[in-house]
Amino acid sequence: MSTTTLAAGAATPAVGRPDAPTAHLILPADASREEWLTVRRAGIGGSDVAAILGLDDYRGPLKVWEEKAGYQEPENDRMRWGTRLEGVIAEGFEEETGLATAIPAGTFAHLDRPWALVNIDRHVLDETGAVVAALELKNKSEYVAKKWEGNDEAPDAPALQAHWATAVGGYSHSYVAALLGGNRLTVFRQERNEELIAELFRICGEWYQRHIIEGVRPPADGAKGTKDFLAALYEVKPEAIKEIPLDEAKALRARRASLKDQAKALEDQLTEVENQMRDTAGSNAVVKSGKGVAWTWKPTGRFSDKQFRELRPDLVKKYTTTVEVIDGARVKADLPEIHTKCRARVLLVPAKEI
């Protein structure tokens, strides 16, 4: 893994390389978005793998299934800028590694497993111009940079996406290059792993058969993004009521109550340990052990308005500012339907037994 400062400019690689030893081109790069979505829904792509395995924080098996069934998330600025910056990140990769890259010809399908699809961001070329690897390009904010820097491997989701490209395309290795915070590039090389590839093909093949061919909908999963996805998937009908069997309702409620009890117990244990660390620090900001810092307890948290008002009531007016906010009450009165659409759906479970 290596890191460099990214220079300005955009790469201008060769276009349309069809090279993939174990795959063939099924859709050209200049196909319409509608054609691309149709092909993507018919198989498993690199961005689906981590979600199917439960290793993607923001996308789980349920969302993958809904997308294959026709759900389409609207394009947003993050997606558009990710695409726009691919050329810049590819140039940074070339400068960092000394390797040339080329734009692939489009969507590829595995020769023996036609459901296994891949859209490679860039091919990596050797000194003769032959394609030897796949390259995945990522644009990541400073907020998640710590997950990328100082590690020997890329985070799970992009690493699996690159391994999938290696598996489907038949390459000897792959790369992941990420632009961090808009000004740093980190690069990872991943060797072909036959054992991992066999497992990916097995797991994803079974998932494809069960959920795509047979059409069985996966249950709701624990991915962080699934809650927001479900809220977007279902438009609430305020007065609608759904009846479910009593045993199903009791089972879900009992499991939820048990998990909340476990979470509370773990939270209490965590607070106990952290309080012991605070007590050990006392009035010291830093606690060291040997040559390293064991932990710190510094006043770097959220500023407390309440505490400031209590300490310096004479200065409250001087440091008080006004901000523009939407008047939710007026929106509710004038535009009740819009108000409902803009409210988060809250899951409430009555304490009373059913």
DSSP state letters, 136-174? EEEEE-GGGGGGTTT-SS--HHHHHHHHHHHHHHT-SEE
User: Distance (Å, rounded) from C-alpha 337 to C-alpha 70?
Assistant: 26
Model confidence, pTM: 0.76
- pLDDT, mean of residues 207-225: 94
Percentage of residues of the chain with pLDDT beyond 70:
95
What is the Cα–Cα distance from 320 to 305, expressed in whole angstroms?
Answer: 10
The pLDDT assigned to 78 comes to: 79
pLDDT at residue 3, rounded to an integer: 47
The CATH fold assigned to 2-213 is Lambda Exonuclease; Chain A (3.90.320)
pLDDT for the residue 204: 97
Q: Is the pLDDT of residue 2 over 70?
A: no
Q: Is the pLDDT of residue 237 over 90?
A: no
Please report the pLDDT score of residue 81 as a whole number: 85
pLDDT the model gives residue 291: 86
Instruction: Please state, rounded to an integer, the average pLDDT across all residues of the chain.
Output: 90
The yes-or-no verdict on residue 255 having pLDDT over 70 is yes
Chain Cα centroid distance, residue 289: 36
**Band of pLDDT at residue 28, cut at 50, 70 and 90:** very high
pLDDT digit string, tens, across residues 155-212: 999 999 999 999 999 999 999 999 999 899 999 999 999 999 999 999 999 999 999 9
Q: In the predicted model, is pLDDT for residue 347 greater than 80?
A: no
Q: In this predicted structure, what is the pLDDT of residue 18?
A: 65
Which residue is listed with tokens 């879900």?
Answer: 252
Q: List 131's β-bridge partners, or say none.
A: 125
pLDDT per residue as tens digits for the range 3-20: 444 433 333 333 455 688
